Structure 1
Amino acid sequence: MASSEAQYDSDDGMDEFMDKFKTQRYKNAFSENNWEEEFNKVPMFMKTAPEEIDPNQYPELACLQAIIHDEDRTPEEIARSLKDEGNVFFKEKNYQKAIVAYTEGLKKKCGDQEVNTVLLTNRAAAHFHLGNMRSALNDAAAAKRIKPDHLKALIRGVQCCIELRNHAEALQWCEEALKAHPTDKKLLELRAAADKHKRAAERDARKAKAKEKKLHGVKEALLAAIKDRGIKLLQPVKSGKRGSDSEDEAEGSSAAISELSLDGLSSQEVTGAQVFLDEQGSLHWPVLFLYPEHQQSDFISAFCESNCFMDHLGVMFGEELPPWDTDRKYHPQNLQLYFEDEKTETLRQVHPETSLLKVLQHKRFFVKGGTPSFIILVNGSPFKKQFLSGKKTQGL
């Protein structure tokens, strides 16, 4: 078995080169002093071809020459040449071209398993740097199948699993790799990191499950409280259903009410508030007051069911009246409240001293969108007479 140090020195020393490359400035850019010399290295612009072609000095020309003379070379020689070409692109951080070169090398299906292992491992590295973690993992796994103790393939496989948040699989890779390289520092560090991530993920999953269970319990208690009070929630009309069907369903059965945790209590998405059950067992509802005469509205985010309407009207229209009330007529004692019975097209008047719960329990009241709403008019005003003209009205 090859030592860890020997394994690190294989694969053309790319990792060592990259570590050193990060600390240096890019040296391959053309400058005013060397642009003619650099242009002369590009096959298209060469004035004269060199007598001897060094692949490190003339990689593009070496590649062209290799293509021309492919018929004279074995698949192993061509694969090694393509591997060298890919390494040049890799060192220049041109990972896409490196992948193309390594892929072409693998297509030669040479019999040298060491070359194939390096091609797969290096292509995995290029995919890894591009963020193609699944492709990188597949290449690392293929390299491991050829050479199970190949250190760089094993390390790359662990890194990919961690990036893919598959920490259990990362630990499995580590355990297999450490059998071949029990003292490798990098593998030990990766195993510790994978184990830490796995425990953190399991902890987060437990917290999420506990939170979900708690929220489910809260929703169940809330729906039970609504059902026990006989309050009817009107579901949004679904495609293909008429409004009257939906109302009949909401009014008719407790089974329909039990399904309304998602549909009938949807006000939070629109208003930011939703009915809730306090520690004393009282329901608090978001309530909307509409003033059609002025096209204004008021929103109460938590109207306790035991409070009467006058409790809130006395605050909203107390000493200071709203600026839109230019005639100064919206005094609590002058106001009349109504809710709309959509099915019978009737406006039902609510006495201001009535509690919210009593109104919600009325047989013709349906909570729509999770938010009870009420119309407020000024008694004796011309607008009230006009607004109610042609409409049926009825008291509780």
Structure 2
Amino acid sequence: MAFLGQQGGDDSDDGMDEFMEKFKTEKYKNAFNESNWEEEFDKVPMFMKSAPEDIDPATYPELACIQSIIHDTHSTPEEKAQNLKDEGNQFFKEKKYKKAIVSYTAGLKLKCSDADLNTILYTNRAAAHFHLGNMRSALNDSVSAKKLKPDHLKALLRGAQCCLELRNYGDVLQWCDEGLRAHPTDKKLQDLRTTANKKKREAERDARKAKLKEKQQRGEKDALLAAIKERGVKLVRTTKPPKQGSDSEDEDAEEQVTAGMADMGLDGLVSQEATGQRVFLDDNGALNWPVLFLYPEHCQTDFISAFCETSTFIDHLAVMFGEELPPWDTDRKYRPQNLQLFFEEFGSDQLHQVNMSAPLYSVLQHSRYTVKDGTPCFIVLVSGSAYSKQFLSGKKIYGLK
């Protein structure tokens, strides 16, 4: 037997020598070369930098083999779950968090009897959800992990971190306190608790400020509506806000509202101009209104954001049409002394001429005047001009106020 073994060994040696001699004269056909060695190495699981999106058995036979082992139907649930956990961990390292979640979920669906393994699957899936910004899902997985193992440090940390991101600072403190009872010296839990406690105090302070501001604004609103009601100014809102559950957002409604009514609110006093200006009470108790001047002859407008009720119209017109006239007034005829001012009665085409030396409040208190959408509006014409005559033709004109 010894002789035969020795002879077999000699044959093997001779064969190897012959095989090795071939490399001196013949190049190995399947060898890597300088142009493709990196690509070929990347097909070998041991050397892969990342797993491919689709594992084609023809292209990646070794990887397909490993995957079949992971999902081997003859393995126990614990073995399959362990393999799926490892697969998920690899995806996680490659920052493919969605794929990691799929692997961890598949492992959990097996419902294996290893509580520690299931706890890790939950905490790992929580970590993947956390990196994707799915804080609620991450928190739910942390809760599930904690139920299986109440003192599991990673579950406690992740739960606290999720609550911090969700700004549930009281819950952060609760998670940290539970964690510190089991791990009293853990630095991360201590830091999380300190951060949450600080943010909780800040949030409470901001809530107090917001409540105080709301109270102040409510007081200012009540004072404003009371001042408008006291002056007898009538308000109208031409668009009604859509009711909750209504499909229509632009229901037309001409809703006249008496100043000071509870359902009016400041939304009816906001200017429809792009500036969104609103009437306000100044320190002297005077109302300041956003006022719109219309120049129909030239399709132009002027907007005054704060027209004090005690100021006269001529005060503003003298500034607007003083030394510098607007570029659209090519005939240079819009001089204060040449102008006429009118307001249109709400719900009709009747015009009322305004005394330009009168203060704003005297016009707003006129029995026929209504402030539309929070913005008093006036028409400016050049007295005696051809356009003015044509514009006023056929309209009922009331005298100066």
**Normalising by the residue count of structure 2, what TM-score does the alignment of the two structures yield?**
0.81
**2:238, 2:253 within 8 Å by CA — same for their partners in 1?**
no
Which has the larger Rg? 2
Counterpart Cα distance in 2 of 1:318 and 1:96:
69
Which residue of structure 2 lines up, in the alignment, with residue 261 of structure 1? 265
AA aligned opposite 2:360: L
Aligned to 2:306, the other structure's residue is in SS state strand
AA aligned opposite 2:66: A
Counterpart Cα distance in 2 of 1:240 and 1:66:
62
Which residue of structure 2 lines up, in the alignment, with residue 113 of structure 1? 115
Alignment of 1:212-251 (within 5 A): 212-238=214-240, 243=254, 246-247=255-256, 250=257
Matching residue within 316, 331, 336 for 1:332:
336
Which residue of structure 1 lines up, in the alignment, with residue 147 of structure 2? 145
Which residue of structure 2 lines up, in the alignment, with residue 282 of structure 1? 286
**2:160, 2:192 within 8 Å by CA — same for their partners in 1?**
yes
Counterpart Cα distance in 2 of 1:318 and 1:179:
79
Counterpart Cα distance in 2 of 1:301 and 1:254:
21
Relative to structure 1, is the Cα distance of residues 306 and 254 closer, same or farther in structure 2, using a 3 angstrom cutoff? closer
Unpaired runs of 5+ residues, structure 2, are 1-34, 46-54, 241-249
Counterpart Cα distance in 2 of 1:262 and 1:162:
37
Relative to structure 1, is the Cα distance of residues 197 and 269 closer, same or farther in structure 2, using a 3 angstrom cutoff? farther
Which residue of structure 1 lines up, in the alignment, with residue 8 of structure 2? none
**1:284, 1:304 within 8 Å by CA — same for their partners in 2?**
yes
Counterpart Cα distance in 1 of 2:394 and 2:346:
15
Counterpart Cα distance in 2 of 1:289 and 1:320:
18
Relative to structure 1, is the Cα distance of residues 155 and 242 closer, same or farther in structure 2, using a 3 angstrom cutoff? closer
Shift in Å at residue 317 of structure 1? 2.0
Q: Deviations over 1:131-166 (max 9, x none)?
A: 111111111110100110000111111011111111
**1:234, 1:369 within 8 Å by CA — same for their partners in 2?**
yes
Counterpart Cα distance in 2 of 1:241 and 1:90:
56
Counterpart Cα distance in 2 of 1:283 and 1:254:
14
Q: Deviations over 1:28-70 (max 9, x none)?
A: xxx9533213324477247986xxxxxxxx6x532312323x2
AA aligned opposite 1:137: L
**1:236, 1:264 within 8 Å by CA — same for their partners in 2?**
no
Which residue of structure 2 lines up, in the alignment, with residue 304 of structure 1? 308
AA aligned opposite 1:162: L
Matching residue within 47, 57, 75 for 1:44:
57
Stretch moving more, 292-301 or 35-44: 35-44
Counterpart Cα distance in 2 of 1:47 and 1:290:
77
Counterpart Cα distance in 2 of 1:36 and 1:78:
30
Aligned to 2:190, the other structure's residue is in SS state helix
Relative to structure 1, is the Cα distance of residues 363 and 179 closer, same or farther in structure 2, using a 3 angstrom cutoff? same
Aligned to 1:260, the other structure's residue is in SS state coil
Relative to structure 1, is the Cα distance of residues 43 and 277 closer, same or farther in structure 2, using a 3 angstrom cutoff? closer
Which residue of structure 2 lines up, in the alignment, with residue 35 of structure 1? 39
Alignment of 1:77-88 (within 5 A): 77-88=79-90
**Structure with more relative contact order (C-alpha pairs < 8 Å, separation 6 or more):** 1
Pairwise CA RMSD: 2.1
Relative to structure 1, is the Cα distance of residues 191 and 330 closer, same or farther in structure 2, using a 3 angstrom cutoff? same
Q: Deviations over 1:56-98 (max 9, x none)?
A: xx6x532312323x22x22112211211221122122221111
1:66 aligned to 2:70? yes
Counterpart Cα distance in 1 of 2:65 and 2:95:
20
AA aligned opposite 2:323: E
Q: Deviations over 1:158-183 (max 9, x none)?
A: 01111111111111000111110111
Alignment of 1:89-108 (within 5 A): 89-108=91-110
**Normalising by the residue count of structure 1, what TM-score does the alignment of the two structures yield?**
0.82
Aligned to 1:284, the other structure's residue is in SS state strand
